[in-house]
Copies of this chain bind each other. A is one copy, B any other.
Amino acid sequence: MSLESFTNYISKIVSLSAEEMEVIVANTTERKYLKGQYILQAGDVNNKVAFILQGCIKTFYIDEDGNEHIVAFGIEDWWTGDLGSLMAQKPADYNSQCLENSVVAIIPYKKVQELYDEIPMFERLFRIITEKAFVASQRRIIESFSLTAKEKYLQFRTRYPKIDQRVPQYMIASYLGFTPEFLSKVRSQIIAEQ
């Protein structure tokens, strides 16, 4: 069963009985997306949580000037989507688009709510996941203040080597808040130093 990486992931965070895990799996569906397809589009209400079984996904938003800003990348064993839209059941600000053909485990929003009531450990799972996501988000804010451009890029490469290898450079620039030209110059400076 190809939800195995999903159940493995869950087991690393909380301990569930076999029955509980079965209930979760029974509410989870697997879905394939082609490269370029959207898991979520800005303006739609996000009605699912999505766990990446395989593939690479970018979450981005478009500002008033039409510029794309990448908020997050997701690969295997990460979540993707717009939590704000999911929580408030309001139109999403973000898009989630596949950069590769991808396979995603999906639990519909309503099922998630039911599972929260039915399986307290399921709610714990999401409490912990969200705590980790929040801590990472705070760290990103700090680094945006206190690191130089070069440090930010090197940090990114060491922290997310798998992403660095899979996504084009101009998207990394967008994630870091740089122009593609500027990232290119940062890179050439790093190369010159070696």
Contacts and interface: CB of A to CB of B under 8 A. Distances in A.
A133 to B, nearest CB: 5
A96 to B, nearest CB: 13
Oligomeric state, in copies: 2
Interface stretch (A15-23, A36-44, A102-110, A124-132): A124-132
Contact of A144 (B84, B139, B141): B141
A33 interface: no
A61 B142 contact: yes
A21 B177 CA distance: 45
A138 interface: yes
Interface string A50-81: 00000000000101000101010000000000
Interface residues of A, number: 32
Interface of A: 61, 63, 67, 69, 71, 83-84, 87, 93, 116, 120, 123-124, 126-128, 130-135, 137-142, 144-146, 177
Contacts of A127: 123, 126-127, 130
A131 B132 contact: no
Contacts of A130: 127, 130-131, 134
Contacts of A133: 134
